[in-house]
Amino acid sequence: MAASVVTWAGLAAFGRACGSIRSRLLGSSSTLSQVSCLHTSTELNSKHWERKNLVVYPPQQKDELRRPAEIYHCRRQIKYSKDKMWYLAKLIRGMTIDQALTQLEFNDKKGAKIIKEVILEAQDMAVRNHNVEYKSNLYIAESFSGKGKYLKRIRYHGRGMFGIMDKVHCHYFVKLVEGVPPKVEQKTGFDQAKEYVEQLRNRTIIHSL
Amino acid sequence: MATSICRTLKYLQPTICLNIKPVFVPIRTKKRYFIPPAVNVKQKSQSEQETKARAAGVVVRQQYIERAINISCTAGIFDPYIPPEGDARLSTLSKEGLKQRTEQLRQSAASQLAFRKIKDHDNEFSTKEFPALAQQIFIDAHAALTQFNKEKLHSLVTERCYPEMVRGNRYKTLRWRFIESLEPPRVVHARCPDMISKGNLYGQVTLRVHSRQTLAIYDRFGRLMLGDEDEPRDVLEYLVLERHLVNPYGRWRLHGKIVPAWAPPKDPIIKTVIIPGPTLKPEEAFEDLHYQVPKPKAVQWYK
């Protein structure tokens, strides 16, 4: 949403159209949320990310599997684009914490330095406050970016035209979990083709003689 | 559409009122474009902002920079009781033990004075009945800590002791059980310090408690951090209870614990912890330094 050349009349019409579309969308989404009220990840739970660290679980019995520690951390209003931040967040998803830190250290983007600071802070918090034993025994379970509050400025064009420039900000969220990262099964093309052929072979005609 | 209305107004006005000069109404008054509000704002200094606020009639309330002082309890334990070495243990009479015994005799005289002062203010105090009461306060306080019942805890524990009991425990689960008392608790020490002004008396009484307890601390995720729920341990403690004697609504509350210098070291927590070591220069190696982990001095401290 960078600067766009706009005429005065057109902008008013655009604003009115946007408002109507937004109200229509809100109406439809509210009905949808009423229907599927359980487990909706609205805005990917970004508003209450800090509160997730305050959840206390009841003590475990001796025969239960040891529950892995989960640490939630975020940084708000980073002066960076959320789309550019997404690339870095996607890069480190599923990596161990040491691997993620190495990758971010040698990445040339501006957001890499910020994400590295956030992850180091989260690691320190984990060891101090959340009873994590080994600081390297963590992996990145969730990592994503969200839109922050934008500031608006005028971008001057020729012939008295102007555009509204957005000064973009983003939030960055990360969830560290104790333990070894789960192995993601890489499906080869050959496996997918085999599955497809099996599906084709399993077709039958129902209600036949 | 908007422009046509404005133009008609312009034409109507001269016809309606002939004596008054025609007023020129600007035609295009509707705001048609959006200017971000931050564009026209001039950077104001603090004094300019203040003058503008005062002119507008905005009143900022006077900010009181205050620090709350609590007068219902003292800030520490005055003239702490020095427990004799080898208490409840098979001991060899050491030189430190004899020194402590002589100090104890000196302290007991002051304790008797303190008891008399306490009895002046509080009629129901007696050295025979107080220990049972105090032990009940101790058990109730720790039970409230387990349930984290803030109001009850504040009534059983002084404001000095409360943060020490509660710090770091908010997101942890505590399981504590008082199984039995091995020896009847007895009062060993008392002092009556007066704070700030002369008549403002506080009474501090030290109680020796030998009991069997179990403690288990679980962290936020329900994993065991310290202790064992099924293993009872023998515990020898010196509890300090305090009461604001001059206050008629004062109550005997737990004020702190005295940990003697000869107390055995506590159990380590279940996880491994890094102890920060010396910073190495590039040419040094850690093994060559022969670094000794510093051990804490055996000093009496009170919690």
pLDDT in tens, B109-163: 888 889 998 998 888 888 889 999 999 999 999 999 999 999 999 999 999 999 9
Supply the CATH number for residue B111's domain: 3.10.450.240
- pLDDT the model gives residue B198: 84
- pLDDT the model gives residue B265: 83
- pLDDT the model gives residue B149: 92
- pLDDT the model gives residue B30: 82
SS (H, E, C) B199-226: CCEEEEEEEEEEEEEEEEEECCCCCEEE
pLDDT-derived band at B224, boundaries 50, 70, 90: very high
Does B221 map to a domain? yes
Q: In terms of Cα–Cα distance, which of A14, A3, A11, A6 is closest to A159?
A: A6
Does B129 map to a domain? yes
Structure tokens at B185: 């608790």
What's the rounded Cα separation, in Å, for the pair A2 and B162?
A: 55
- pLDDT the model gives residue A36: 46
Report, as an integer, the average pLDDT of B240-265. Answer: 90
Q: What is the residue type of B169?
A: N
Does B286 map to a domain? no
Q: What is the residue type of A92?
A: I
Residues of chain A with pLDDT below 70 are: 1-44
Q: What is the residue type of B103?
A: E
Q: How many CB atoms lie within 10 A of CB A85?
A: 25
Q: In terms of Cα–Cα distance, which of A95, A117, A108, A106 is closest to A172?
A: A117
CATH number given to A68-179: 3.90.470.10
Query: Any idea what the Cα angle at residue B19 is, between residues B16 and B23, rounded to 5°?
Result: 70
CB pairs under 8 A between A and B: 67
Does B232 map to a domain? yes
- pLDDT the model gives residue B100: 59
Q: In this complex, do A11 and B33 lie within 8 Å of one another by their Cβ atoms? A: yes
DSSP 8-state symbol, B42: -
Structural domain range at position B197: 100-259
Give residue-wise pLDDT tens across range B79-108. 888 888 777 665 445 566 556 555 565 567
Alpha-carbon separation of residue A68 from A12, A73, A108 (angstroms): 54, 16, 33
Q: At which residue do the structure tokens 């509204």 appear?
A: A164
Q: What is the residue type of B32?
A: R
Q: In this complex, do B36 and A154 lie within 8 Å of one another by their Cβ atoms? A: yes
Interface of A with B (CB under 8 A): 6, 8-9, 11-12, 15, 54-60, 66-70, 130-131, 133-134, 151-154, 162, 164
- pLDDT the model gives residue A21: 46
Q: In terms of Cα–Cα distance, which of B234, B291, B297 is closest to B261?
A: B297
Q: At which residue do the structure tokens 């005799």 appear?
A: B105
- φ/ψ of B87, rounded to 5, equals -70, 130
Does B19 map to a domain? no
What's the rounded Cα separation, in Å, for the pair B286 and A176?
A: 31
Closest B-chain CA to A63: B223
Q: At which residue do the structure tokens 């609504």 appear?
A: B249
Report, as an integer, the average pLDDT of B41-57. Answer: 84
What's the rounded Cα separation, in Å, for the pair B78 and A121?
A: 42
Distance from CA of A22 to the nearest CA of B (A): 19
Q: What is the residue type of B33?
A: Y
Give the total number of structural domains in chain B.
1
In which element (H, E) is residue A97 found? helix A97-105
Q: In this complex, do A60 and B34 lie within 8 Å of one another by their Cβ atoms? A: no
Chain A touched by B223 (CB under 8 Å) = yes
H helices of A36-160, in order, are: 82-92, 97-105, 110-129
Q: In this complex, do A131 and B271 lie within 8 Å of one another by their Cβ atoms? A: yes
Report the DSSP pairing between strands A138-147 and B173-191: unpaired
What's the rounded Cα separation, in Å, for the pair A18 and A207?
A: 52
Helix (H, G, I), strand (E, B) or coil at B238: strand
Q: In this complex, do A60 and B219 lie within 8 Å of one another by their Cβ atoms? A: no
Structure tokens at B21: 């000069």
Q: In terms of Cα–Cα distance, which of B298, B282, B204, B209 is closest to B242?
A: B204
What's the rounded Cα separation, in Å, for the pair B72 and B291?
A: 47
What's the rounded Cα separation, in Å, for the pair B291 and A124?
A: 25
- φ/ψ of A161, rounded to 5, equals -85, 155
- pLDDT the model gives residue A38: 55
B30, B31, B34, B40: best to mutate for the A interface, most A CBs within 10 A: B34
- pLDDT the model gives residue B137: 95
